[in-house]
């Protein structure tokens, strides 16, 4: 009997696949609108999950359709905005802005503490949020031209929505919803959103070139495989180790961006990326030790796309 893949290796492979997905999205965005890419990403994910659920005997029926609807709304919105940002920004910049979700989570914890009237708000969380947003400012200032500002803001919002999706994924996990069912309904949501973004305008392409079709298929395959690997890594491995390895995705994206898209390399941008990564890792560690009742708000982090 073969030994299962170690969690750190699954995590490292998942981040590589997500980076490859980003490469395919960036190439595909030259030929397809964002909505159509989101649709086909969802189609591949839904078909894959349906097969896995049938093989495992998992029912499609869920007792909490409203929770799945909210999770899909947040996750699909984040995914769509992220794909749009990838199309107009350096790949590493778009990836980093989406990975700001850990910093957004720290901000949510601070907001929850203030709303609940908690006497003490952890100053380290506040510092983490400040450092993270300084890092974003350093990234955007040297790498975004005026015509890319909208893409930068969209990428930043995608990270915030990803953090909201994590909260709902965590809630679904706590009530015992299978991960395949969660991903299946998210994929259906992606298909619906993709159609809504595409049909009122040009509609879906009725024919595809070999290269275009291969890119759309690759987006779905890489994203689905990465999501499954990352989910299993968090199930079997240590959360802090996985969170640390998760940021390999930024390094992979930076390398692909330089090699494939001639993305600019500036010391200020590199410093900003380093600050975001440091803030994200610190936020993850602090959320693991923050005092109740906020500890229950911290989600299990698996990338929604």
- Look at residue 296 and tell me whether its pLDDT is greater than 60: no
The domain limits of the chain are 7-297
pTM: 0.85
* Whole-number Å distance between alpha carbons of 92 and 30: 18
62 burial (CB, 10 Å; 0-12 / 13-18 / 19+) is: middle
Instruction: Give the pLDDT mean for 66-70.
Output: 92
Instruction: Give the pLDDT mean for 197-208.
Output: 88
- Look at residue 179 and tell me whether its pLDDT is greater than 90: no
Instruction: Give the pLDDT mean for 130-153.
Output: 78
- The owner of tokens 């968090």 is 234
Instruction: Give the pLDDT mean for 112-124.
Output: 70
For the record, the structure tokens of 285 come out as 């560690």
* Whole-number Å distance between alpha carbons of 201 and 238: 45
* Whole-number Å distance between alpha carbons of 243 and 8: 10
Q: Long-range CB contacts (< 8 A, 24+ apart) of 140-143? A: 140/93, 140/272, 141/268, 142/264, 142/266, 142/268, 142/269, 143/89, 143/90, 143/93, 143/263, 143/264, 143/266, 143/269
Whether the Cβ atoms of residue 257 and residue 263 lie closer than 8 Å to each other: yes
């Amino acid at each position: 009997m073969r030994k299962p893949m170690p969690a750190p290796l699954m995590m490292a492979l998942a981040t590589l696949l997500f980076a490859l997905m980003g490469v395919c999205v960036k190439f595909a965005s030259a030929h397809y609108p964002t909505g159509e890419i989101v649709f086909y990403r969802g189609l591949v994910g839904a078909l894959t999950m349906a097969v896995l659920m049938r093989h495992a005997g998992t029912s499609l029926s869920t007792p909490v359709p409203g929770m799945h609807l909210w999770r899909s709304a947040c996750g699909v919105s984040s995914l769509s905005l992220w794909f749009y940002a990838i199309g107009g920004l350096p790949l590493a910049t778009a990836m980093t802005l989406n990975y700001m979700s850990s910093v957004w989570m720290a901000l949510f914890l601070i907001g929850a503490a203030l709303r609940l009237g908690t006497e003490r708000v952890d100053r380290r969380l506040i510092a983490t949020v400040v450092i993270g947003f300084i890092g974003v400012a350093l990234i955007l200032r040297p790498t975004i031209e005026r015509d890319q500002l909208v893409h930068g803001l969209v990428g930043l919002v995608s990270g915030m929505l990803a953090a909201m999706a994590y909260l709902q994924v965590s809630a679904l996990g706590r009530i015992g919803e299978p991960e395949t069912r969660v991903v299946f309904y998210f994929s259906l949501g992606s298909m619906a959103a993709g159609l809504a973004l595409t049909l009122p305008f040009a509609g879906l392409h009725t024919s595809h070139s070999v290269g275009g079709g291969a890119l759309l298929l690759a987006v779905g395959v890489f994203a689905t495989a990465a999501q499954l690997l990352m989910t299993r890594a968090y199930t079997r491995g240590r959360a802090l180790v996985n969170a640390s390895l998760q940021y390999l995705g930024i390094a992979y994206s930076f390398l692909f961006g330089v090699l494939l898209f001639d993305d600019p390399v500036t010391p200020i941008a590199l410093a900003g990326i380093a600050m975001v990564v440091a803030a994200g890792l610190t936020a993850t560690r602090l959320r693991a030790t923050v005092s109740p009742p906020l500890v229950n708000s911290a989600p299990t982090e698996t990338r929604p796309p």
